[in-house]
């Protein structure tokens, strides 16, 4: 090493130290090694190509002005990049190449096991109003891990709503699109256990290496860090190391970060510094879409009304929703029977303990309405426009909306394949008529009563 280079660079560092934040200094300037001064050119060695690009993008002017100040003769700076596995450095966002990683000198490190389940992809994740924002944020991150201001991304929401799925989808997509090379998925429980083991086995260095050596770290269910102080401390350092080198962190939690008790304040404030996206329970339409997606994935034909029936009755949780479909299939193949509403009722009785013996069906309503209003069931379903038929039909539609959990679409389908807007119109007409026609009001009341008692 050249003495004059060492001296010169030392003077530069003294100035730089006072001009940039400590962490920046530690991360980006301390690792630089002076090599030599030749013909008014100071050559320094940087640990990697990314490192070089990052410096060029962010500190070119600073370095130029510092060098000018120190040498007063406009000395130039040149870089020499070393390619060694040990010194492989962070891939900061701005230094990230636009092209996918193509291998080569900086890509020699062995692929780590990511612990990802390949089933959890964006393609398999059904979008709904309940998860739209979280999904969009997740997608943005998968496209440029560490390259957005969403760092960390915290996805939170209740049990079985798709947090793990979404977190893993980020990992899978990043690897598939090569926006990240090293992805690691873990749960906070696993992290805790491994940390404890590493202490026991004197392997804490290996432990922290493993977690700091990634481009994208996904940590599931961080609520399990609550009250585990030394693990939190360890995680805090891991978090900082990754964050400061522009690596992406994605966390999931079963509650909002601000509601995590038993967490160190500094860790919480880190969690809150990025983007927080919640997932809410899915609405009926989304639940149906999820079931349709699952059925399709498994290559099974199953009636829309049955899917809707399941979706209408399992409201809180996608995992249960999935479970009900699987059970329904199992039951159908075990008992060698078709998948029917009755079988679905049986499944629901078993899974959520709900009894459906008194569930009103569209058929019951059409039947009883026809009976009371003096028209046949086939007339109700048919195309006839006679006034009393049309009225009975509208009343039956109205009652279907009132007494069943079927969607307007399904109701329409059961009325000779009519459109859902026809059902909407019928309900509106009956609402209006009932407001001024007490005879109709009473008639509808008695139809309802009759349907209800027929259920017992």
Cα distance from N-terminal residue to C-terminal residue, the chain: 94
Shorter beta-carbon distance to ligand ADP: residue 34 or 162: 162
Give the shortest CB-307-to-ligand ADP separation in angstroms. Answer: 14
Give the shortest CB-219-to-Mg ion separation in angstroms. Answer: 11
Measured in whole angstroms, the distance separating CA 340 from the mean position of its chain's CA atoms is 33
Dihedral angle, C-alpha 39, 41, 43, 49, nearest 10 ° = -130
The yes or no reply on residue 223 touching Mg ion (CB under 5 A) is no
Give the shortest CB-167-to-ligand ADP separation in angstroms. Answer: 8
Give the shortest CB-140-to-ligand ADP separation in angstroms. Answer: 17
Give the shortest CB-322-to-ligand ADP separation in angstroms. Answer: 5
> What is the C-alpha to C-alpha distance for residues 417 and 379, in angstroms, rounded to an integer?
14
> What is the C-alpha to C-alpha distance for residues 78 and 102, in angstroms, rounded to an integer?
26
Query: What Å distances lie between residue 339 and 212, 300, 325, CA to CA?
Result: 50, 10, 10
Choose from ligand ADP, Mg ion, none: what does 71 bind? Cβ within 5-8 Å by kind: none
Give the shortest CB-187-to-Mg ion separation in angstroms. Answer: 8
Give the shortest CB-104-to-ligand ADP separation in angstroms. Answer: 36
Shorter beta-carbon distance to ligand ADP: residue 51 or 125: 125
> What is the C-alpha to C-alpha distance for residues 220 and 437, in angstroms, rounded to an integer?
59
| Piece of the chain touching Mg ion by CB under 5 A; list 56-64, 158-166, 226-234, 340-348 | 158-166
Choose from ligand ADP, Mg ion, none: what does 216 bind? Cβ within 5-8 Å by kind: none
Q: Which two tokens stand for residue 194?
A: 């491994």
Shorter beta-carbon distance to ligand ADP: residue 93 or 162: 162
Shorter beta-carbon distance to ligand ADP: residue 231 or 286: 286
The yes or no reply on residue 164 touching Mg ion (CB under 5 A) is yes
Choose from ligand ADP, Mg ion, none: what does 319 bind? Cβ within 5-8 Å by kind: ligand ADP
Three state DSSP letters for 287-301: HHHHHHHHHHHCCCC
Binding mask 116-155 for Mg ion (x = CB under 5 A): ----------------------------------------
Choose from Mg ion, ligand ADP, none: what does 31 bind? Cβ within 5-8 Å by kind: none
Q: Using CB under 6 A, list all residues that contact ligand ADP.
A: 124-126, 131, 157, 159-165, 290, 293, 318-319, 322
The residue whose two tokens read 């002005």 is 65
Choose from Mg ion, ligand ADP, none: what does 145 bind? Cβ within 5-8 Å by kind: none
Query: What Å distances lie between residue 222 and 259, 391, 436, CA to CA?
Result: 12, 58, 58
Give the shortest CB-352-to-Mg ion separation in angstroms. Answer: 21
Which of 11, 6, 7 shows the shortest CA–CA distance to 67?
11
By three-state DSSP, how is residue 249 classified? strand
Choose from ligand ADP, Mg ion, none: what does 394 bind? Cβ within 5-8 Å by kind: none
Shorter beta-carbon distance to ligand ADP: residue 33 or 255: 255
C-beta nearest to ligand ADP: residue: 162
Given a contact cutoff of 8 angstroms between Cβ atoms, the answer to whether 75 and 50 are in contact is no
Task: Give every strand in the sheet of 76-81, ordered side by side.
Answer: 33-38, 41-46, 76-81
Q: What DSSP letter does each residue of 410-449 carry, written as one string?
A: HHHHHTTS--HHHHHHHHHHHHHHHHH-HHHHHHHHHHHH
Instruction: Return residues touching Mg ion (CB under 5 A).
Output: 163-164
């Amino acid at each position: 090493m050249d003495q004059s280079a060492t001296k010169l660079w030392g003077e530069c560092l003294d100035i730089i130290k006072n001009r940039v934040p400590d962490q920046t200094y530690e991360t980006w300037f301390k690792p630089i090694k002076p090599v030599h001064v030749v013909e008014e050119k100071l050559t320094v060695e940087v640990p990697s190509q990314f490192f070089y690009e990052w410096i060029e993008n962010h500190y070119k002017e600073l370095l130029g002005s510092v060098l000018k100040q120190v040498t007063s003769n406009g000395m130039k700076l040149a870089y020499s990049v070393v390619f060694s596995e040990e010194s492989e450095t962070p891939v900061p966002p701005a230094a990230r190449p636009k092209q996918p990683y193509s291998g080569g000198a900086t890509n020699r490190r062995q692929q780590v096991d990511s612990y990802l389940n390949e089933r959890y992809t964006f393609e398999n994740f059904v979008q709904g109003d309940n998860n739209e924002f979280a999904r969009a944020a997740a997608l943005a991150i998968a496209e440029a891990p560490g390259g957005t201001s969403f760092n960390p991304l915290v996805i939170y929401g209740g049990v079985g709503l798709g947090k793990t799925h979404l977190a893993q989808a980020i990992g899978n997509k990043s690897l598939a699109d090569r926006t990240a090379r090293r992805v690691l998925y873990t749960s906070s429980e696993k992290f805790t256990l491994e940390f404890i083991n590493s202490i026991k086995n004197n392997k804490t260095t290996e432990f922290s290496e493993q977690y700091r050596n990634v481009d994208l770290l996904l940590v599931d269910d961080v609520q399990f860090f609550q009250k585990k102080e030394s693990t939190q401390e360890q995680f805090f350092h891991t978090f900082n190391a990754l964050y400061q080198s522009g690596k992406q962190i994605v966390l999931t939690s079963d509650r909002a970060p601000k509601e995590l008790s038993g967490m160190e304040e500094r860790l919480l404030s880190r969690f809150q510094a990025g983007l927080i996206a919640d997932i809410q329970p899915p609405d009926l339409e989304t639940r149906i879409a999820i079931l349709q997606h699952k059925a399709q994935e498994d290559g099974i034909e199953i009636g829309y009304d049955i899917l809707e029936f399941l979706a209408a009755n399992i409201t809180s949780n996608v995992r249960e929703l999935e479970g009900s479909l699987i059970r329904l299939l199992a039951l159908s193949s075990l008992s060698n029977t078709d998948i029917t509403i009755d079988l679905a009722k049986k499944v629901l009785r078993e899974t959520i303990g709900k009894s459906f013996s008194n569930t009103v069906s569209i058929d019951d309503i059409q039947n009883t309405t026809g009976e009371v209003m003096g028209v046949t069931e086939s007339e109700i379903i048919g195309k006839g426009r006679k006034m009393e038929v049309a009225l009975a039909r509208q009343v039956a539609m109205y009652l279907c909306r009132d007494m069943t959990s079927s969607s307007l679409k399904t109701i329409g389908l059961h009325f000779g394949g009519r459109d859902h807007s026809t059902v909407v119109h019928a309900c509106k007409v009956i609402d209006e008529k009932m407001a001024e026609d007490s005879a109709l009001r009473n008639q509808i009341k008695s139809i309802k009563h009759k349907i209800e008692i027929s259920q017992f």
